[in-house]
Structure 1
Amino acid sequence: DGHMQGMAFVATQTDEATTSELKRNLNCADDVGRTEAGRERNRAAREKLHRQYFAGWQQLRTLAEEDRLDEEEFRRRGYLPSIFCTSSHDYQKLTRLLDPSEDGRARLWERLEDTEIPQLRAWVHAQGQRF
């Protein structure tokens, strides 16, 4: 159980979906903007991964004949993995690693933090500092 803090999931290409696709898939209202729809999609993806991870963890506990925890206790103990919904194209455009005049502007995100690449980099760095 103590090793799970070092686990992460990385969802990629979060900038690839169109606004209409996001709204349709998430059943969003017509007045929802692209950034808000993107955030909602990332939230839904995180929640789905957390549920799937918890269910798999419970199966392992059952196989090992260990006591099962409810989801609230699982979360309280910090067993949930880190999940990053990353957007590398928008990151590269916002940091000017790609030329916006040639490659266009960022499709979904306006702020670097929204691409979640800086948070992922910080998490990876912190994992290296643990040892």
Structure 2
Amino acid sequence: KLLVLFFIVRFIFSMISYGASVPGGIFMPILALGAVIGCFAGLLGVNAGWLAHSQVLGLVLISMAAYFGAIEKAPFTAIVLLTEMAGSLASVFPLVFVTFIAYTVDTLLGGRPIYTALREEMQFK
């Protein structure tokens, strides 16, 4: 319950922050929201008996890459960034697989890159 609350609060404050037309970073909030989604899914999997507790951290890492890759419309950047953060090449295949699934789903649903959407909302040319 706490993770869901944290996600909702973080998401709302991110929308308020970027809707206010003030300079600010969107990089870390995207990674934080992806981490919360991965942690939530991982803990659901542990409670259901589908995952070992030691696998939650890997799911957090993969979720961060998938969320970032879909929101930013930059899957390769997400994969490289999270591979570097992990410090190991062991997670590259799951990162590639899940990030491209997230990217494809976002594209099929008509998602736009976040910076393009923000620029259009702020009416910058």
Assess same fold via TM > 0.5: no
Length-normalised TM-score, structure 1: 0.35
- Which is richer in helix? 2
Larger radius of gyration: 1
- Which is richer in strand? 1
